Amino acid sequence: MRVAMTYLRLPEAEGGGDPGARARAVFGGGKWREKHPVLPVAGAWQALHYLLTGDPWDGPHPAADVVCGGRLLTEDGADELGVDVIYLNAERVKLAADHLAATEFARIAGRYDAERMAELGVQGAEDWVGEPAEAIRDGELRVVYERLTRFFEAASAEGQIIFKAMG
């Protein structure tokens, strides 16, 4: 089963200071995609993380915060909210935004290797094996990376937090 990721940004103070309570208020009510600024990255999330960090799950900060980093708020799964939710506070959003702004896609594109990514279990990479690298790397992944960069820059400029919803 493929997992999709959607980013959502909110003002730091909206909904109180407890990230878990905020997540329940935002995601528990449904229609959160229509009510807040969101960026769906579908199944490209793990490939982007790999390009940013060189690892399917971990990596150095602040690069790792862009996709997989942050505080997991749904420790026991997504039963209550329907999605797993990862929280990034405004300080970490700013550091990640600064990193993205300073990191042109061409600088990380060299890590793209569909066979290696598939061996490591990067979601979707098995579908890319044998396909021209330029079609995936410089097509879909570049577009999502550029949108993600703008999303983080806007959140940082407004002092916002980011929730990452997976499911």
Per-residue model confidence as pLDDT tens digits over 79-99: 778 889 999 999 999 999 999
Q: What is the CATH number of the domain that holds 116?
A: 3.40.1760.10
Strand-pair category, 38-42 with 71-72: unpaired
ω before 62 within 30° of 0 (cis)? yes
pLDDT digits (tens, 9 = 90+) for 115-142: 999 999 999 999 999 988 887 888 989 9
List the domain range (segments joined by +) for residue 59: 5-166
Give the residue carrying structure tokens 């980013």: 7
Q: Return the pLDDT at 31.
A: 87
For residues 21-37, give the mean pLDDT.
Answer: 87
Q: Which residues pair with 39 in a beta bridge?
A: 7
* Amino acid present at 147: R
Which tokens go with 149? 């960069």
Q: How many domains does the chain have?
A: 1
